[in-house]
């Protein structure tokens, strides 16, 4: 039975006060903390046009919190970060299918061997069929993150047409953790929850709210409600 997991995206937090922001989110009822890891690897060859945090920041944050750190890797070479992130104390390691066509088996095996939960993510333009082999393997991923915006930045508009992917996945895999990321908040949660998403990443809608605890609880209740109906 899947459980609701509300994961505030720390990309929208005050990075200069990451430890206290993390503590504040946990106090507000966050189940997970979503950590967006974006790097530019080579000149002209980046996965997203932004830079955020890396393993050293996860390692520092881990000293201040026991929270589940749900790491979303928007990099071209996720394999290089399994070891450092495992050591740093990451809990979940979600890589993108678009950059892992040749090495996802090795990635999943390494992520698990470092004690992290392996997940796969797909961009809006990537067909859902591309993640099936990773779910049907004898050593499968344990979470699928369906991007509901183009990865790279917080504060973008939710893409409702991505809910078809969530619906298909939920029908095929009733006990899979299905996460949605981008533009989630009180005005879009109904679409995501009724399609079958149980892990909800929310950045600007949580950090920008006067009462983040209220938003987190609303998202949680809506997912809970849907899981009880089905
Ligand atoms: C975008 C990131 C998201 C982002 C979500 O590439 O993966 O996690 O922080 O932010 P909101 O909820 O503001 O769309
Ligand atoms: Zn993310």
Question: What pLDDT score does 42 carry?
Answer: 47
Q: How far apart are CA 53 and CA 127, in angstroms?
A: 28
Q: Given a cut of 50, is residue 179 above it in pLDDT?
A: yes
Indicate the number of domains in the chain.
1
Sign for the CA dihedral angle at 216, 219, 223, 226 comes to: positive
pLDDT bracket for residue 155 (50, 70, 90): very high
Q: What is the mean pLDDT of the chain?
A: 95
Q: Considering Cα of 57, then 65, then 149, then 183, what sign does the dihedral take?
A: negative
pLDDT for residue 108? 98
Phi, psi of 47 (to 5 degrees): -85, -40
Residues tagged in the binding site annotation: 9, 34, 36, 72, 152-155, 181, 183, 203-204
Please report the pLDDT score of residue 94 as a whole number: 98
Percentage of residues in the chain having pLDDT higher than 70: 95
Atom of ligand 1 nearest to the CA of 158: 14
Give one DSSP letter per residue of 127-147, joined into a string.
-GGGGHHHHHSSS--SEEEEE
**CATH for 90:** 3.20.20.70
The set of catalytic residues is 36, 181
Rg, Å, the chain Cα set? 16
pLDDT tens by residue, 98-115 = 999 999 999 999 999 999
Q: What is the pLDDT of residue 44?
A: 54
Q: Which residues have C-beta atoms less than 6 Å from ligand 1?
A: 9, 11-12, 34, 36, 72, 149, 151-156, 181-184, 201-205
Res 67 pLDDT > 70: yes
Summary count for the chain: helices (H), strands (E):
9, 10
H helices present in 63-143, as ranges: 79-88, 104-113, 132-136
Q: Supply the residue whose CA is at minimum distance from atom 7 of ligand 1.
A: 151
| Domain residue limits at 210 | 5-229
The winner for highest mean pLDDT among 38-42, 118-122, 149-153 is 118-122
**How many alpha carbons fall within 13 Å on the CB side of residue 194?**
5
Does 136 have pLDDT greater than 90? yes
Residue 148 C-alpha to ligand 1 middle, in angstroms? Answer: 9
pLDDT band at 52 (very low <50, low <70, confident <90, very high): confident
**pTM score of the predicted model:** 0.96
Nearest CA to 10 among 49, 58, 56?
Answer: 58
- d(CA 216, ligand 2 centre) in Å: 17
């Amino acid at each position: 039975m899947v459980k609701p997991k509300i994961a505030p995206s720390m990309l929208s937090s005050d990075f200069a006060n990451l430890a206290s922001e993390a503590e504040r989110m946990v106090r507000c009822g966050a189940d997970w903390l979503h950590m967006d890891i974006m790097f530019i690897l080579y000149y002209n060859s980046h996965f997203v046009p932004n830079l955020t945090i890396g393993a050293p920041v996860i390692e520092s944050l881990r000293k201040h919190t026991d929270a589940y750190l749900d790491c979303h890797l928007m990099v071209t070479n996720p394999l290089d970060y399994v070891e450092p992130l495992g050591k740093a104390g990451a809990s979940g390691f979600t890589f993108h299918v678009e950059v892992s066509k040749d090495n996802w088996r090795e990635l999943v095996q390494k992520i698990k061997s470092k004690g992290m939960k392996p997940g796969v993510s797909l961009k809006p333009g990537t067909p859902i069929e591309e993640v099936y082999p990773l779910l049907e393997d004898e050593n499968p991923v344990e979470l699928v993150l369906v991007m509901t915006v183009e990865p790279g930045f917080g504060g973008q508009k939710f893409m409702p047409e991505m809910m078809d992917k969530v619906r298909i996945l939920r029908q095929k895999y009733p006990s899979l953790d299905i996460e949605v990321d981008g533009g989630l908040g009180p005005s879009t949660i109904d679409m995501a929850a009724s399609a079958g998403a149980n892990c909800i990443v929310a950045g600007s809608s949580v950090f920008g709210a006067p009462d983040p605890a209220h938003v987190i609880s609303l998202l949680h209740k809506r997912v809970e409600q849907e899981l009880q109906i089905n």
